[in-house]
C-alpha cells in the first residue's frame, strides 16, 4: 500500500484511524510473506491448538471427510467450520456453521461459533446479535464478552468495547487475550500510550502468545521506539523480518508526514 491510500481522509481523526488500521494490517501482511523464526501463521495455529500449517490442513481434511459422511453431526460441523476459519476460509466456514445454527437455535456453543464466523467476514451487527443470544447472565462466558468487545472496536464503539473487556476481566483476571484486545482498542482510537500500557501488561501474563508480543512491538514502533520494538519482534520473527517490519513502519510514518501533528489535530 502506498501513501496515496490516505490522501482523501475527510478529517484528521479519520486519517489517524485509517493509518493505524493500515499499520496493523500491513505489518501482519509483511510478516506473513517471509520465512519467520515464528511466523504469524504459526502463532495463530499455536493459539488455536494447531502446531503447524500442516497440522491445520490435516485437521481440515479429517473433519471434511467426516462432515461429508454426516453433515448433521453438530460436533463434526463445528470442528470442520472452526478449522476452516483458522485457515482463512471464512466464507466456507460460515456456510458450514450457518447450516448447523439453523437447527441448533439454542445451542450456546453453536451460537458462539456462528457469531465468530459472521464477524470474520465483516457482518458485525449480525454477529453481535448472535453472540448476545449465546451469552447468559447466570453463567457468562468471558470469551464471548471479549469477542463482542472486539466487534464493537471494529464498529468504532470504543467505550462499549471496553465495557465488554472489563466484564471479561472480572471473570478472567489477567487474561492476555483480553488485555491485548484492550490495547488494540486504544490503538484503533489513536491513544498509543494507553495501548502500550495494556499490551505490556498482556505480554507479561502467563500464556501470552506471539501475537500479543507482536502487537506490542507494533505499538512501540508507531511511537518511534524502534530499538525496543525491534528487540521484541526479533524474539518472535527472524532478525531479517523484524528489521523489515521496523523499516516498513519508519517509511509509513515518514509518508504520513508528521505523526504528532496528526495527533494534535485530532
pLDDT of residue 238: 73
Candidates 166, 108, 165; CA nearest to 139 is 108
Unique residue bearing C-alpha cell 470504543: 158
Cell output for 42: 504459526
Whole-Å CA distances, 44 to 10, 104, 117, 161: 35, 28, 16, 23
Judge residue 125's burial from the number of C-beta atoms within 10 Å of its C-beta, 0-12 exposed, 13-18 middle, 19 or more buried: exposed
135 close to 141: Cβ distance less than 8 angstroms: yes
The cell for 116 is: 465468530
**Using an 8 Å Cβ cutoff, are 159 and 191 in contact?**
no
pLDDT of residue 235: 82
**Cα separation, 165 vs 175, whole angstroms:** 10
Dmax (CA) for the chain in angstroms is 60
pLDDT in the model for residue 114? 95
What is the rounded CA–CA span in Å between residue 121 and residue 61? Answer: 23
pLDDT at 16: 52
So what's the pLDDT on residue 52?
Answer: 65
Burial of residue 8 (number of CB atoms within 10 Å: 0-12, 13-18, 19+): exposed
Q: How many alpha carbons fall within 13 Å on the CB side of residue 53?
A: 8
State the cell numbers at 225: 521506539
Domains defined along the chain, listed by start: 10-37+176-266 (1.25.40)
Model pTM score: 0.71
The tens-digit pLDDT sequence of the chain (266 residues) is: 333 333 344 455 554 555 455 444 444 433 333 333 333 332 333 334 455 678 889 999 999 999 999 999 999 999 999 999 989 999 999 999 999 999 999 898 999 999 999 999 999 999 999 999 999 989 999 999 999 999 999 899 999 999 999 999 999 999 999 999 999 999 988 899 999 999 999 999 999 988 899 889 989 988 889 889 888 888 877 777 777 777 766 776 665 554 444 445 44
Amino acid at each position: 500500500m502506498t501513501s496515496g491510500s490516505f490522501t482523501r481522509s475527510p478529517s484528521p481523526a479519520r486519517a489517524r484511524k485509517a493509518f493505524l488500521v493500515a499499520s496493523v494490517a500491513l505489518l501482519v501482511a509483511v510478516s506473513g510473506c517471509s520465512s519467520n523464526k515464528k511466523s504469524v501463521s504459526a502463532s495463530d495455529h499455536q493459539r488455536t491448538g494447531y502446531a503447524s500449517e500442516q497440522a491445520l490442513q490435516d485437521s481440515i481434511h479429517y473433519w471434511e471427510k467426516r462432515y461429508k459422511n454426516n453433515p448433521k453431526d453438530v460436533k463434526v460441523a463445528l470442528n470442520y467450520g472452526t478449522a476452516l476459519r483458522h485457515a482463512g476460509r471464512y466464507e466456507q466456514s460460515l456456510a458450514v456453521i450457518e447450516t448447523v445454527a439453523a437447527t441448533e437455535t439454542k445451542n450456546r456453543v453453536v451460537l458462539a461459533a456462528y457469531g465468530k464466523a459472521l464477524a470474520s467476514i465483516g457482518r458485525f451487527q449480525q454477529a453481535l446479535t448472535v453472540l448476545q443470544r449465546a451469552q447468559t447472565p447466570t453463567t457468562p462466558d468471558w470469551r464471548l464478552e471479549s469477542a463482542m468487545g472486539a466487534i464493537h472496536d471494529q464498529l468504532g464503539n470504543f467505550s462499549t468495547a471496553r465495557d465488554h473487556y472489563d466484564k471479561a476481566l472480572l471473570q478472567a483476571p489477567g487474561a492476555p487475550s483480553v488485555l491485548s484486545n484492550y490495547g488494540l482498542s486504544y490503538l484503533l482510537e489513536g491513544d498509543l500510550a494507553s495501548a502500550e500500557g495494556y499490551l505490556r501488561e498482556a505480554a507479561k501474563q502467563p500464556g501470552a502468545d506471539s501475537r500479543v508480543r507482536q502487537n506490542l512491538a507494533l505499538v512501540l514502533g508507531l511511537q518511534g521506539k524502534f530499538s525496543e520494538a525491534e528487540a521484541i519482534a526479533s524474539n518472535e520473527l527472524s532478525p531479517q523480518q523484524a528489521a523489515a517490519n521496523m523499516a516498513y513502519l519508519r517509511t509509513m510514518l515518514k509518508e504520513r508526514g508528521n505523526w504528532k501533528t496528526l495527533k494534535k489535530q485530532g
